[in-house]
Amino acid sequence: MMIIARLRKHFIFRNYCTTSARQLHVKMTQSQQLSSNLVENDSEGTPALVANLIEYTNSVMKNSKNHVVAFSGGVDSSLVVALLQKASEDASHQAVKPVLGISPAVSSEQIKLAREVTSHLGVQLTEVRTSEGRDATYIANAGEACLACKTHLYTSLRLVLDHASINSEQDGGSLYNGTNADDVKDPTRLGLIAASRFDVISPLQHTTKDEVRRAAKYLGLPNWNYAASPCLRSRLALGVQATKHHLTMIEEAEKIVKEKLPGYNEASNIRVRMLSKRRARVEVDEKLIRDAESQKSFWNESFQNLGFSGVDLKVFQSGSVSRKLVEREAA
């Protein structure tokens, strides 16, 4: 009953149609063999890539009866859900449970996409309110906000898994995320530490982003070519507090950019960063930079109405404001 009470407090349920990381590390020889098959068989085409992904996913599922996925609506976590569905007969639509953390750092656009993708996959999306917004480490945004955020997220997902185990009368279950091979190489992704602490399984850990997109396209996922869309907190320069107000400003500013920028589509990379003293920096793909220049005066006025002090423009670079800490630590 205590678990149910905690679930009622933290969760919103909507009907929208590891083995541990340490254990995976011990099995690295097996894992690397399967991952090498992904590369070796890739010359045969995407069907072989997908077949090996399903095989690898099946190998990390073991005898788990419940599969809870940290879901964002992005292509990585979407592919993980699809692979879990296909990897084993035990992974029924009821056993695979994508969970979306709801907070001011998750845009309404991302929530809508997550609902659409899970409906396409035929699984129920669970939406759970997370509490990182009350965490001083997260709010300070001094370099460990991602770790704090993911700790809160995986804590909530663990509750979902416990609840699923009780309801299904099946002991055992696993948490999963969409971390891919490119993510593992990124030193700014401190959330990977939290994933390790919670024994989260990463079926795509040996799969590059390009391979993820090819597999997702082959499996008919509607978001296979969508640009990555990390949480809104990642748009804040280090030291700019991760408050609800700041995150709302960024979300509204990005809506303005997307509505007015010629040539924008779901595959385009668009970011509005908040720098110190509330200065905005709009980052767009290089092919869109000329059109963006023509909109800068309009954005400057519109952004000031939102509370920004001014606008700069730059070619898109992933993690451009979070990498400053890594650069300082390496110096």
What pTM, to 2 d.p., does this model score?
0.85
Res. 30: pLDDT tops 70: no
Percent of the chain with pLDDT over 70: 81
What is the tally of helices (H) and strands (E) in the chain?
14, 8
54-101 pLDDT per residue, tens: 999 999 987 788 999 999 999 999 999 999 999 876 455 568 999 999
Beta-bridge mates of residue 284: 270, 315
Q: What pLDDT is stored for residue 110 in this prediction?
A: 97
In order of 83, 127, 212, 283, the CA distances from 115 in angstroms are: 18, 10, 20, 27
Residue 38 CA to residue 32 CA, distance in Å, equals 10
Q: What pLDDT is stored for residue 15 in this prediction?
A: 39
Query: CA dihedral defined by 277, 279, 285, 289, rounded to 10 degrees?
Result: -150
How far apart are the two ends of the chain, measured CA to CA in Å? 52
